[in-house]
Structure 1
Amino acid sequence: MSDESSAPLRPRVGCGAAILDAEGRILLVRRKRQPEAGHWGQPGGKLDWGETSRACAEREILEELGITIVAGPVLCVTDMIADDAHWVAVTYRADGCVGEPTIQEPQALADWGWFPLDALPSPLTAATLDAVASLRA
Structure 2
Amino acid sequence: MHDPSEPQGAAVLLVNPAGQYLLHLRDANKPHICDPGTWSIPGGGRESGETAFEAAERELSEETGLAVRGLIPFTVVESVGPDGHTKGRIQVYLGAWDGDADALPVTEGIMYRWFDTATIAYLTMCPWAQRVIDLHRAERPLPPPRTDTAAAPVNRTRPHIVGVHLYLERDGQVLLGLRHPDSSFAGSIHHFLAGHCEQEPATGAVVREAWEEAGLRIRPEDLELVHVVHIPDRSGGLPRVQLVFRARAWDGEAVVREPDQCAGWAWWPLDALPEPIVPYTRAAIEGIRAGRVFTELGWT
User: How does the TM-score come out when normalised to structure 1?
Assistant: 0.77
Match of 2:92 in 1: 91
Would the aligned equivalents of 1:75 and 1:91 in 2 still touch at CA under 8 Å? yes
**Percent of matched pairs sharing the same residue:** 23
Amino acid paired to 2:16: D
Give the RMSD, CA atoms, in angstroms: 2.4
TM superposition shift of 1:81? 3.7
Q: Which residue of structure 1 aligns with residue 68 of structure 2?
A: 69
Maintained 8 Å contact 1:67/1:97: no
Question: Gapped runs of 5+ residues in structure 2?
Answer: 1-6, 139-300
Q: Which deviates more, 87-96 or 47-56?
A: 87-96
Please identify, of 91-100 and 53-62, the stretch whose mean Cα deviation from structure 2 is larger: 91-100
- Residue in 1 aligned with 2:132? 131
Aligned match of 1:9: none
C-alpha displacement at 1:85, in angstroms?
A: 7.3
Evaluate the alpha carbon distance shift between residue 99 and residue 123 of structure 1 in structure 2; reply closer, same or farther with a 3 A threshold: closer
Q: Distance in 1 between matches of 2:98 and 2:56?
A: 13
Unaligned runs of 5+ in 1: 1-11
Task: Out of 120-129 and 55-64, give the one that drifted further.
Answer: 120-129
Higher relative contact order by CA 8 Å / sep ≥ 6: 1 or 2? 1
Contact 1:103 1:109 in 2 (8 A): no
Q: Is the 8 A contact 1:13 1:88 kept in 2?
A: yes
* 8 A Cα contact 2:76 2:89, kept in partner: no
Which amino acid counterpart does residue 67 of structure 2 have in structure 1? T
Question: How far apart, CA to CA, are the structure 2 residues paired with 1:98 and 1:56?
Answer: 22
- Give the stretch that moved more between structures: 50-59 or 94-103: 94-103
Q: Take 1:17 and 1:93, find their aligned partners in 2: how far apart are those partners?
A: 6
Cα distance in structure 2, aligned partners of 1:36 and 1:76: 18
Distance 1:118 1:99 in 2: 20
**Residue of structure 1 equivalent to 2:26:** 31
Alignment check: 8 A CA contact 1:17 1:43 kept: yes
Question: Within 1, Cα distance between the matches of 2:76 and 2:115?
Answer: 19
Query: Number of paired residues?
Result: 124
- Calculate the TM-score normalised by the size of structure 2: 0.38
Please give the alpha-carbon distance, in whole angstroms, between the structure 2 residues aligned to 1:36 and 1:79.
Answer: 9
2 CA distance for matches of 1:88 and 1:76?
7
How far off its partner does 1:80 sit?
2.0
Can you list the C-alpha shifts for 1:16-61, whole angstroms capped at 9, x where unaligned?
A: 1110011111000011152211100011111111111111111101
Larger Rg: 2
User: Partner residue of 2:8?
Assistant: 13
* Aligned partner letter, 1:95: A
**8 Å Cα contact 2:73-2:91 kept in structure 1:** no
Q: Could you say what secondary structure the match of 1:119 adopts?
A: helix
C-alpha distance in 2 between matches for 1:99 and 1:38: 22
